[in-house]
Amino acid sequence: MIITTLADKINDANAKGRTALIPFLPGGYPDKEKFWKEILELDANGADIIEIGMPFSDPVADGPVVEAASLKCLDAGVNLKWILEGLAKVRSQINAGIVLMGYYNPVLQYGLEKFAKDANSAGVNGLIIADLPYEEGVEFRDLLAKNEVALVPLVGLNTSPERMKLYADGGNGFCYFVSVLGTTGDRDSLPEEIKVGLKQAKEIFNIPVALGFGLKHPSQLIQLEGLVDAAVFGSALIRHLGDGKSCAEFMKVWK
Amino acid sequence: MKRGYFGDFGGQFVPELLMPPLLELEEAMGKILKSAEFQQEFTSLLKNFVGRPTALTYCANLSRELGFNLWLKREDLAHTGAHKINNTVGQALLTKMMGKPRMIAETGAGQHGVATATAAALLDLECEIYMGAVDVKRQSHNVRRMELFGAKCIPVESGTQTLKDAINAALRMWIANQRTTHYCFGTAAGPHPFPLLVREFQSIIGREAKQQFKERTGEMPYMVVACVGGGSNAIGMFHEFVSEESVKIVGVEAAGTGEPGCFNSAPINLGTPGVLHGAHSLLLQSEDGQILPSHSISAGLDYPGVGPEHVHLHASGRVQYGMVNDSQAINAFKMLCHNEGILPALESSHAVAWAIENKDSIPKGANVIVNLSGRGDKDMDIFEDYLKQHGK
Ligand SMILES: Cc1ncc(COP(=O)(O)O)c(C=O)c1O
């Protein structure tokens, strides 16, 4: 089953001559009250897809900024139920596609089938599970697909064409290309070899390719013209909000 | 069985960026471990550097008191004072033969950190050890030992600042440095192929014990017992005996202070199925799937997860897993000192304590081998603090 919502969002932005924007915020950040307001503000200020983090106590793929923000949300009592119920209430006011990103264990404890159903009814279009490589994710991917939620494939600089093909085969939504051999967190420069990897991904996947991890400023994308359909940014946005500034202000730079 | 699984447990729940080095490691294991070159070198190092075979000691005094024959497999006599060195020498040699110049490792109490730093010094590898900031303070002695061996010890400030966060930090570092670096994982847990790799290097414990016991008695033991943190010393002891159907096998988890609902390190007895550090296993976790802090008086057992093969051995009924609390372990610690002149690690004291606590269910005169995974010099401060707080 092909789920087109996320790809459509990115293609629409690209058709207007711009890279699609995918801001990331951990669910419940900067606090439980402000969070949904920030999501609406991201939506109103040019987000094509919004990624909501599902906080986990042991986020191995995350750098210090996302980890600290996630732990803060956990302390405030955020869980999957809170995110899904809150989303269901505001979903009709959000234009952007919605992707949830997190780790496998909280989803497993929620119940895979129940999660797929509840995510669908809350208006979730896609799911990114940082610690679910192809081999472990096939059954869940099909379960999600039945509920019209795309399991977004994550690949990186060290992913061989063979493994990219595995992901491309049933991959849905968009391909999330990790810009660095490392964790989330904004960096001043991106590795040169990224171009080779992105070219490969563009050839192998028949869905749009998003670049994420390490993005700090839109100028980083200039040398990657034609290779990146969408940009994901998390740490830079979290830091910005942490300084008490607004989403609108942040999005202005990226639009 | 699915690749990388023991029954329903195990697997490779890691970021895709870690799949290439895990596949590379699996391939290297297939090529290198069986080679004559590796086997010769490893066997020689175990003999001449680690000090193997370690003794199998009959405890005559305690045996009289307990009513069964207590034997100890003496990993405390291995170089650096614990079984950990078998694994680190093996992985360091593998790292070298894979052509990588550098190892990283996590450590809780510091035993695995010291053993990794030792093997790295011997084989001329660069070495970095990740250790929770809380543990760095608790175990400063071991930090100094690692540094003497030329390793860099990096305090981990995130999360609970203990072992589980040290593992997270090491995994993150491995993602970034996989091309030059091997992650020398310290126990039979984590993503495939680590549970197999660590078992391979630790199974020397059970092989020796079986052979030594046969030579001394002409028989098989009635029972073998070992403590379970991540599970490496236990799987090392058990592997050789799992197919010997007459032998009872017991793993011992740490019940912490022991009262209902207390913090503990007993995921097989008190945990629920879940995914942490790359494996589907049993975990201490909240209903929401957040990992709970663990506790044991023995730093080396203080981990909220456990190796997947143990969960499978439990599920299949082949191995029984019991629990021992802090005070029972302290009691065994004292008894072994007094009666036998052996100062056991607090981790190993849990295994000894299980045998003592269950003496009535062990037939008179039966032969029980307890794996003494390490020596207790490192635990003297903890022991004295415990006495101060609880009286003699
Ligand atoms: C002496 C000793 N025994 C046992 C353990 C427990 O680990 P495992 O269950 O992996 O053997 C440790 C871990 O640090 C240890 O130092």
Give the closest residue to B85 by CA, choosing from B107, B109, B116. B116
CA distances from A19 to A208, A223, B383 (A): 11, 13, 62
> pLDDT over 90 for what percent of chain B?
95
CA-nearest residue to B287 within chain A is A109
Helix-, strand-, coil-residue percentages of chain A, each rounded to 5: 50, 15, 35
In this predicted structure, what is the pLDDT of residue B391?
81
Say how many C-beta atoms besides its own lie within 10 A of residue B40's C-beta: 10
Contact A19, A13 (CB under 8 A): yes
Q: pLDDT tens, A75-86?
A: 999 999 999 999
The beta-strand segments (E) located in B194-327 are 223-227, 248-254, 272-276, 278-283, 320-324
Q: pLDDT tens, A223-232?
A: 898 999 999 9
Q: pLDDT tens, A159-201?
A: 999 999 999 997 789 999 999 898 888 777 888 889 999 999 9
**DSSP, res B300:** G
Contact B322, B223 (CB under 8 A): no
Task: Give residues (CB < 6 A) around ligand 1.
Answer: B 82, 84, 108-109, 111-112, 187, 227-234, 300-301, 345, 347-348, 373-374
Partner residues linked to B182 by β-bridges:
B103
* Minimum-distance CB partner of A109 among B11, B15, B288: B288
**Pairing label, strands B248-254, B320-324:** parallel
Q: pLDDT tens, A47-91?
A: 999 999 999 999 999 999 999 999 999 999 999 999 999 999 999
Report how far residue B171's alpha carbon sits from residue B166's, in angstroms, rounded to the nearest whole number.
9
Is the reported ipTM for this assembly greater than 0.90?
yes
Taking only residues 133 to 152 of chain A, the set having a beta carbon closer than 8 angstroms to any beta carbon of chain B reads: 133-136
* Minimum-distance CB partner of A58 among B14, B17, B159: B159
The best mutation among B164, B348, B354, B373 to test binding of ligand 1, ranked by most ligand atoms within 8 Å of the C-beta, falls on B373
Report how far residue A84's alpha carbon sits from residue A115's, in angstroms, rounded to the nearest whole number.
9
Q: pLDDT tens, B274-318?
A: 999 999 999 999 999 999 999 999 989 999 999 999 999 999 999
CA-nearest residue to B272 within chain A is A109
Ligand 1 mean position, distance from CA B300 (Å): 5
Q: pLDDT tens, B19-77?
A: 999 999 999 999 999 999 999 999 999 999 999 999 999 999 999 999 999 999 999 99
Whether residue B392 is predicted with pLDDT greater than 80 in this model: the reply is no
Tell me the nearest-neighbour CA distance from B279 into chain A, angstroms: 10
pLDDT, mean of residues B106-131: 97
What residues in B contact A178, CB-CB < 8 Å?
16-17
Please report which confidence band the pLDDT of residue A1 belongs to, taking 50, 70 and 90 as the band edges: low
In this predicted structure, what is the pLDDT of residue A222?
85
Q: pLDDT tens, A17-36?
A: 999 999 999 999 999 999 99
CA-nearest residue to B12 within chain A is A136
In this predicted structure, what is the pLDDT of residue B1?
67
Partner residues linked to B281 by β-bridges:
B274
